[in-house]
């Protein structure tokens, strides 16, 4: 009998744990993707990520063809659709790679129960991370709440190695498939124009470029938003276009082969970023309530302000703070934002506009192509000062000095805010004097950072005193 491989966030054929095991254990594989059928507005996703998903599925369908596989697409509730497919094909098992998100885990539990009702096997594999949350625990077996001891433990563990390519899949003929989706499937219009190319091949290309040209100076360039100093692999890891084992292995080998101490140090710094990704996934696994409330109980119930006109200005990149606006416009135009700028705009929303981090978290999930529930929640709670190992509440970044430090020539700002292209760089990093806008079509700052900083300190302090 055939076996179903249920594709989820592993849209590749190379180094894919469940797909490899499915192809080795059964004579034929039915590679399946179940499309969701929500329409239009969604709190946790939007057109950018769905467009990337559509293109990645198209690329996957093509790749599967090279190993005699045919992607079968169905739409609706995953359990019901998989049940139907089991009936149609007589499949003896369902194979899948585990999803780290709470919703994904619930579906997996339900699927396991259903499979035993249907009398078939059900096999879930760890594939999204190098180490599962339960592999990286303190000596007393508890989850870590702080990054550095977590990462020291994580770094000390042996890493799994990449897996071989699966053999021929021989998907049974004549199975019905829904067409490859387009954005209209979810009643969505258009996505941002500047989204990176989707698909496994493009992701492997980015990994190659990162290892050969970017990571040698990652330590020096990763905080410079105008440079191509980071790997740009986040959406690929989100959708599993490339496996984390392959990423780790390539960087690890390049590091070992390098004679330059600074290159080796940079690549080590990069690997520690991969540990941040797994740290936040472990936090979400052990403390799923972070999606609802502050990780640090001291900061639950803070009096956030109701989002108004300034929230709209923040989203649209017209707060009058060039570095904040450049970041928000990069997000709108490409579905991506540089990490340093994500921290700046997130702190601005929570500490200058006093808006609940959950509003920013949700907006980011709707826009980001790499929208990853665990990392996004971690990043927002870090910036708000409420999270695991977060910035303490009194360490409030000044958007003007951040901008001066990380974009001194205003190259990043001018790239995303063309109205400011002729403005002298030093003027981009300070509040304009005498209420004179920096350029005709560019707004004055919507607030005074010094004043709002004082308000934030007072709000947090008062809240702490009431505990
Ligand atoms: P690189 O610098 O090349 O890093 C390599 C990889 O390490 C990334 O692809 C990512 O998988 C991981 N990584 C790096 N930094 C972090 C981090 N701080 N936390 C977790 N993983 C990290 N990352 C997401 O993947 N999805 C998100 O939804 C997301 N939301 C964020 C929201 C906020 C407010 C903040 C401050 C950060 C967020 N990040 C998120 C983390 C980080 O900004 C991105 O991973 C990074 O910018 C992606 O670019 P890159 O692939 O070039 O990163």
In this prediction the pTM is: 0.98
CATH ID of 129-163+198-286, from 1.25.40.80, 3.40.720.10, 1.10.3720.10, 3.30.110.30:
1.25.40.80
Of 273, 333, 411, 419, the catalytic one is 273
At 112, list the tokens: 């396991």
Instruction: Tell me what pLDDT residue 434 has.
Output: 85
pLDDT tens-digit readout, 196-242: 999 999 999 999 999 999 999 999 999 999 999 999 999 999 999 99
Annotated catalytic residue within 339, 398, 419, 452: 339
| CATH code at 3-127 | 3.40.50.620
Res 390 pLDDT > 90 = no
**Encoded tokens for 215:** 């990571």
Q: Is 464 exposed, middle or buried (0-12, 13-18, 19+ CB in 10 A)?
A: exposed
Distance 375 CA to ligand 1 centre (A): 7
> Can you tell me which residue has the tokens 């710094």?
269
Please check whether the domain covering 297-465 is classified as CATH 1.10.300.10: no
pLDDT 10s digits, 394-445: 999 999 999 999 999 999 999 999 999 999 999 999 999 888 999 999 999 9
Residue to mutate, 270, 339, 342, 381, ligand 1, most ligand atoms under 8 Å from C-beta = 339
Give the model's pLDDT for residue 16: 98
Task: Tell me whether the CATH fold assigned to 3-127 matches the one assigned to 129-163+198-286.
Answer: no
| Lookup result for tokens 């919507």 | 446
Element (H, E) at 269: helix 261-286
User: pLDDT tens digits for 28-54?
Assistant: 999 999 999 999 889 999 999 999 999
State in Å, rounded, how far the first CA of the chain is from the last one: 62
Average pLDDT for residues 323-327, to the nearest whole number? 98
Q: Is 5:30 a contact under the CB 8 Å cutoff?
A: yes
Spans of all domains in the chain: 3-127, 129-163+198-286, 297-465
Q: Is the CB of 234 under 6 A from ligand 1?
A: yes
Question: What's 371's DSSP letter?
Answer: -
- In the predicted structure, residue 128 carries a pLDDT above the cut 90: yes
Q: pLDDT, tens digit, for every residue of 165-192? A: 999 999 999 999 999 999 999 999 999 9
Q: Is there a catalytic annotation at residue 435? A: no
């Amino acid at each position: 009998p055939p076996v179903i491989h249920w594709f989820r966030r592993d849209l590749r054929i190379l180094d894919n744990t469940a797909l490899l095991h499915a192809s080795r254990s059964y004579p034929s594989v039915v590679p399946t993707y179940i499309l969701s059928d929500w329409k239009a507005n969604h709190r946790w996703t939007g057109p950018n990520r769905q467009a990337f998903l559509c293109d990645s599925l198209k690329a996957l369908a093509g790749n599967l063809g090279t190993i005699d596989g045919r992607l079968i697409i169905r739409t609706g509730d995953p359990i019901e659709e998989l049940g139907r497919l089991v009936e149609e094909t007589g499949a003896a098992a369902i194979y899948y790679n585990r999803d780290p998100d709470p919703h994904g885990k619930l579906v997996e539990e339900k699927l396991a129960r259903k499979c035993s009702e249907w009398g078939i096997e059900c096999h879930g594999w760890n594939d999204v991370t190098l180490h599962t949350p339960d592999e990286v625990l303190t000596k007393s077996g508890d989850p870590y709440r702080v990054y550095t001891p977590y990462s020291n433990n994580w770094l000390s563990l042996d890493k799994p190695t990449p897996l071989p390519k699966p053999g021929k899949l021989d998907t049974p003929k004549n199975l019905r498939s829904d067409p490859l989706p387009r954005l209209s499937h979810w009643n969505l219009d258009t996505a941002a124009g500047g989204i990176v190319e989707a698909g496994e091949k493009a992701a492997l290309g980015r990994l190659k470029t990162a290892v050969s040209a970017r990571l040698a100076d990652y330590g020096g360039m990763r905080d410079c938003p105008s440079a191509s100093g980071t790997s740009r692999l986040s959406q690929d890891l989100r959708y599993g276009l490339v496996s984390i084992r392959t990423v780790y292995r390539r960087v690890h080998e390049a590091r070992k082969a390098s004679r330059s101490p600074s290159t080796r140090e940079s690549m080590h710094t990069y690997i520690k970023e991969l540990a941040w990704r797994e740290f936040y996934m472990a936090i979400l696994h052990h403390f799923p309530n972070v999606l609802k409330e502050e990780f640090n109980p001291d900061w639950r119930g803070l009096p956030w302000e109701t989002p108004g006109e300034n929230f709209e200005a923040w989203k649209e990149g017209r707060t009058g703070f060039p570095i904040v606006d450049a970041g928000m416009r990069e997000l709108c135009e490409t579905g991506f934002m540089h990490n340093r700028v994500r921290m700046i705009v997130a702190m601005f929303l929570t500490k200058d506009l006093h808006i609940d981090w959950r509003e920013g978290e949700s907006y980011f999930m709707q826009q980001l192509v790499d929208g990853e529930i665990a990392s996004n929640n971690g990043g927002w709670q870090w910036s708000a000062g409420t999270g695991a190992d977060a910035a303490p509440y009194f360490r409030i970044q000044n958007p003007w000095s951040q901008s001066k430090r990380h974009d001194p020539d205003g190259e990043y700002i001018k790239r995303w805010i063309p109205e400011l292209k002729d403005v002298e760089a030093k003027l981009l990093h300070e509040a304009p004097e005498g209420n004179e806008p920096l350029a005709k079509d560019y707004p004055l700052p919507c607030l005074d950072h010094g004043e709002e900083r004082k308000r934030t300190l007072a709000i947090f302090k008062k809240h702490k005193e009431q505990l």
